[in-house]
Structure 1
Amino acid sequence: MGNEQISRRLSAILAADIVGYSRLMAEDEAGTLSALNRHRREVFDPCVSRHNGRIVKLMGDGALVEFLSVSNAVQCATEIQDTMARLNGAGGIALRIGVNLGDVILQDDDIFGDGVNVASRLEQLAQPGGVCVSSVVQESVGGRLGIAFQDGGQVSVKNIDRALRVYHWHPQDAAPPPNGTVKPEKPRDPAYAIAVLPLDNMSGDPEQEYFSDGISEDIITDLSKVSGLTVIARNSSFAYKGRSIDLRVVGRELGVTHVLEGSVRRAGQRVRITAQLIDTKDGSHVWADRYDRDLTDIFAVQDEVTLEIVKALKLSLSPRERANIADVGTSNIEAHEDYMRMRGFLFFPGMNAEGWRKAVAYGERAIARDPGYADAYGMLALMHLLDYHNHWSGTPSEEAMQKADTLVRRSLALGPDNIWPNNAYAAISRWQGKLDEALPALDRAMAKSADYAMGWFTRGEIEIAQGKLDDAIEHLERAIRLDPSFRHQFMQFLAMAHFLKGSFETAALFLKERVFLVKDTDIGRAWLASALGHLGEVEEARQVWQDMLEINPTFDIRTRLARLTLSDPAHEQLVLQGLEKADLLADS
């Protein structure tokens, strides 16, 4: 018991139970077990997988499933029940399902806590073949999923010290599409999801770490161009750097079917790369190989690794995808190494003025070595955007923004369809207030890489400013799916989108998670205080506000709201009104 890992997080929990299980077993034990196994194999397990859920445990008559997205949990629950209704008619296996959003405690592979307990009570309240959800789940999904819940009122349940507001859904109550039309389904995630762990640096020289990391990042970028794969972002894959961990655990934590791991050894102009693809379900090897090449062949090796993974998973590549993978942006090895070094600084969480200066020097050297290197210009533009926010160079903000703008325009001229130039242009346009120009740039970037997590985040951030709140929620949830280790940042904006929709209970839940993950957040506490004000939790709001002022005594909510460039003035007022209700606005 001494090495058990205990932590907590905010999760959506699905609890399912078979109706009349004891009776069915008494009547026909063999037939019931056969029907149950078929249900799990053909309906339940595939549906959970499609919606990125993790089956925590299966009991004889039920199951407990964890999701990081409440939308995924609700879609999974209703899809299971709708499918069972169509398959069974009046007989066969029937389920009750409850869905809740709340805190859970993780201990090894199991989950406990209030969030789980409430989900179990909701499952008991569900109709046979139906779904029962908590008020926070109903508020969180709203009308985004096209699912109409019926208000079940306030109920008291065993071992829960507060009344629960519940909502019900049943397939037989769902209104059919008008005129016999079929509602189009949203595209589902591909069957395979992969995480590329940082390749181990076996060179015996810590200075070569940038090189092994850079190759890992290049492979991530190439794989993200394959439409048949979901590829986890670099931030989340690299969270395992230097750790010895069971790859099956990585699969559960990141929601991936496969993991790529390996090593890089560089000696002078020779490079050895080993790589192996692991199935996270059972830890088995799907593919492995070793490459001994000259440094000048490094681009070809990365290309081969990507294509071997595609082949091992029996995926098909379109001609365009094949061309995109082969396009590395430069043939100059030294320029690409400088680009790798610069990119390493961009993703380093402890970036400061010294690191920024080194990164800019590498970027300038990369474009000096290859003046046609579009991605290097794009990343260097982002470096100057960081300077605009952080004042690391000591130059005025306007000058930093002008440098960023000049570089990004050169980047786009060289690579009009490339990921980095368009992503940089979108980010810079967003902070220039050119929101309508930012979104088409993101479209171009994500036409090549639909798994670009920061692209989904930037899109969601822009859509909040534009007041497109349902779109923002969908896209921020997608960012969390692709980069769960960066959810602390995404959570702030996801909460803001729910808040501005008037979903204050949901917003407060997400903001409490944000405060838990980022202990010194001032903006998270400010929005939380406002949400609590709207909910009538005045004393708690005041305590949160006081904690915020201890972190940042000069905090000014109006200045921070102005930075968001919210297009609807009513949205800014909604934040201020929550603070007014808690009598906090005079302190801002």
Structure 2
Amino acid sequence: MLKSSQHSIVVGDRTVDLARELLLDRNGKVVPLRPRAWLVLQLLAARAGRLVSKDEILDAVWSDCEVTEDSLVQAIGDIRRALGMAGRVALRTLPRRGYMLAVDGEPVDSTLPSAVAPSTPSDVGDVSASSAVPHLSIVVLPFTSLGGDPAQDYFVDGVTESLTTDLSRIAGSFVIARNTAFTFKGKAIDVRQIGRELNVRYVLEGSVQRGDNRFRLNAQLTETETGSHVWAERFDKPAADLLDMQDEIVSRLANTLNAELIKAEARRAERSPRPDAMDLYFQGRAFINKGVTPAFMAQARDFFVRALALDPGNVEAAVAAAQIDVSMGSAFLTDDASVHFDAAESALKSALFIAPNHPRAHMLLGAVLLQTNRTAQGITECQQSLMLDRNLADAHGFIGLGKYQLGHGEEVEGHIQEALRLSPRDTRTYLWFMFVGMGKLTSNAEHEAIDWFRRSLQANRNHALSHFQFAAALALVGDLKEARSVAAAGLALDPSFTIRRYRINAKGDNPAYLAKRECFYEGMRLAGLPEG
């Protein structure tokens, strides 16, 4: 199982190279690990076969800041995922004591029992006796099939497995492995008991029923501590090919749960007397989801700065902080957008050096490239993010924006429809609707543009740029009264906006794109927006 030498430890098909301070796969490629998780693994590998207490690990790895035991649990979860199945057996949990890497499948520490049970094959870390339940920890219980069709049974199990995989991609999440979850199949469950047994905060349950012409899926998310429902959803649609339907259902569930779990974790963090770095991260993400206004962005940034002060190696907080700069520059909330884009690009490249397969970091870097006259590269980067996370609907949105900037406004809607297929209730639909409106307006389809801009504001009224572009479209078709009212509402959100700022921060130099932007300037003037 595990073999050691002076400078390396082999765990299954992974090698912990202590000399070069790298975790390598069977092909010699680097397996990414967050800095703190690597330090934990390095310590355990250096003392392979011996117990390392929780206090020793916390003192060695987090000596520069105060953290809860939850941070260690998260690091152990990261390590287990990085090491693969062999690592989940070799990395042992000693209840209430600590952790160890067993040599050749057996401990060598004489103070340990001769038979130490391997940890549960879970993605959550210490599920046996941790005093702190990990953040955003969840088990997806096997969905129930309400029909007698064997093909539907396979489909139901497939939904459960795929959803388990896709939820594990949510930043900061810990998802119980499917092997453990399937031990509850067909059994009566008590969510509070499951929460205690698996050390998770949330349980997702569901059922599937398929008639001759209709398909219905019910899902509900429950908090294990109180047994209270957090969220419920029903999908009811015409029956189609089961495999095609599985992909769509899983994507929609994963994207919806992403937003709901962030809200739930943020509410929980608000009640914490001593929030840790991940508490602060989730609170910041909740503010990002409210909308792109100077006030919301400032509040979100404050949470991420505080999170990074507690845990400088927190990649999720670093990527989220970079998103603030991307949003500030993209939404024309500043006269000098380049300062924000430069800061975001630097932070994202640093994050990708540590976590080269981070989907959102690739997507946001793509957004920066789109906004800094590197449109083709930006589209490629967004496509790379989709290869890493097929459910990243926002990447489709940015690709649509890229097509607009290339002067292909008529192509934008197709990319946004793909984003909406994956995540129809996404917190960022207001941006996607705005992108289509921009494409329609530059394609001489003003009335269609108005419909899309109106949908943008209905989805989220806290986005000033949607107001300004909607006002421009209304003015161009002669509806000056509503145009000026909408413009005034936008200025209430961003009083510093000027047409000059919008012009000087154009996102590229493509001649077709620049020529088509002239209609926005003219419409904004007619709507009464300040020239600057």
Please classify the TM superposition score into its range, dividing by the shorter chain length. 0.3 to 0.5
Report the structure, 1 or 2, having the larger strand content.
1
- Please report the TM-score for the alignment, with normalisation by the length of structure 2: 0.44
